Amino acid sequence: MVDGRDGKNANVDPRLLELLACPLTKGPLTWDPERGELISRVARLAYPVRDGIPIMLPSEARAIPLEDGLPPRLGGPS
């Protein structure tokens, strides 16, 4: 799971990334360690991690604008 209290500067267990999916697209998520978020590249949403717990609610996710680049794939399924 996530080690950092606020999700930042922490690592996500690759096995957890294999189990979690975007609730909207059912697609894979990647970990963005710089922001402490789980990224759905297809939905262009960033799900926060709070107190080490991924918040997988679309209403809590941050939209990633088209003009912003997506973070590189650092973790999760290929």
Q: Which two tokens stand for residue 74?
A: 């650092």
Amino acid at 49: V
- pLDDT tens per residue across span 25-76: 999 999 998 899 999 999 999 999 888 889 999 999 999 988 776 666 655 5
Torsion of Cα atoms, 26 then 13 then 41 then 65, to 10°: 120
- pLDDT for the residue numbered 67: 74
- pLDDT for the residue numbered 76: 52
